[in-house]
Amino acid sequence: MTAQILDGKALAARVRAEVARDVLALNQKGVEVTLAVVLVGDDPASQVYVRNKVKACAETHIRSLEFRMPAETTQQELLAKIAELNADDAVDGILVQLPLPSQISSAAVIAAIDPAKDVDGFHTRNAGALMTGSQTLVPCTPMGVMRLIEDAGVNPAGKTAVVVGRSNIVGKPMAMLLLHAHATVTVAHSKTPDLASVTKNADILVAAVGRARLITADMVKEGAVVIDVGMNRDENGRLCGDVDFDSVKEKAGSITPVPGGVGPMTIAMLMCNTVLAAKHRRGLSL
């Protein structure tokens, strides 16, 4: 049986429509919602991501401020820009697109962002809050994955979940959200020996390692929910995920495509986080 395809593009459009309604209601109360997006350098992939984020803002009535800084920007210059955005009461969310040029420490930059405006949820204060279950701003990609799982009608409670990948942006917060949703969670990664023996147990499998088509059908449990966070180029330069879609879709119960799965959800959740930050900063009800 072929898996149900989880359409992240369609779900993201529904989420953006919800956000747009929410923002219009805030506008009617005289509240404008503003996201500042900072892009340093000219990495082509980052330029595409930033363009899509700004476009999603326009669609959801969020005001976006775009700051493009040259590749040779110093850490001090970027920290000065962040200090300015932290102090600007009209700015609700600050997003610094990663990766940053090598002369800038991303840890130092993330630490400088006001945690209340940290719509990426990368600040240690927000990461710590996620760990203790008192979170407000949660990283966008893992949150988008949870929405996809929920929308597929799957409740993680009591299920076995395996996250492949341990980044601060996806793997670790993903494991934490699944744990909060009462799954039994295993985190595997590029150094896990016999990865298949781990992934085969997964009722819910989230692949976020950045290796083209690493997850093949023999590594997947029959009927599993398979979520592909990968964004890789294969040997022919074609965009592909961490999951070998064509073989795995014959074994999984449901699966996200690349593109059109997790990617659009990440941006939709960024819009949600921006509205959340705006409400929270102003003491409005969530």
Which residues contact ligand GUN (rule: CB under 6 A)?
Answer: 95-98, 120, 140-141, 169
- Cα torsion 115, 118, 119, 125 to 10°: value is -50
Of residues 73 and 97, the one with the C-beta less far from ligand GUN: 97
Would you call the peptide bond into 259 cis, given omega within 30 degrees of 0 as the criterion? yes
Q: Which is nearer to ligand GUN, 98 or 198 (CB)?
A: 98
Nearest residue to ligand GUN, by Cβ distance, number only: 98
- Residue 170 region by backbone torsions, left for phi larger than 0, else alpha for psi between -120 and 50, else beta: alpha
Tokens found for residue 279: 């409400």
Q: Of 98 and 217, which has the nearer Cβ to ligand GUN?
A: 98
Q: For residue 137, what are the contacts with CB-CB under 8 A and spacing of at least 6? A: 115, 118, 119, 120, 121, 126, 273, 276, 277
Nearer to ligand GUN, 212 or 224 (CB): 212
- The yes-or-no answer on residue 97 being catalytic is yes
Minimum distance from CB of 141 to ligand GUN (Å)?
Answer: 6
Give the 3-state secondary structure of residue 10: helix
Judge whether 120 counts as a catalytic residue: yes
Could you tell me the smallest distance in angstroms from the CB atom of residue 49 to ligand GUN? Answer: 6
Instruction: Please name the residues in contact with 269: beta carbons below 8 A apart, sequence gap of 6 or more.
Output: 15, 140, 141, 143, 144, 147
CB of 170 to ligand GUN, least distance (A): 8
Contact 228, 260 (CB under 8 A): no
Catalytic-labelled residue, pool 22, 92, 97, 118: 97
Closest approach, Cβ 224 to ligand GUN, in A, equals 25
Active-site residue list? 53, 97, 120
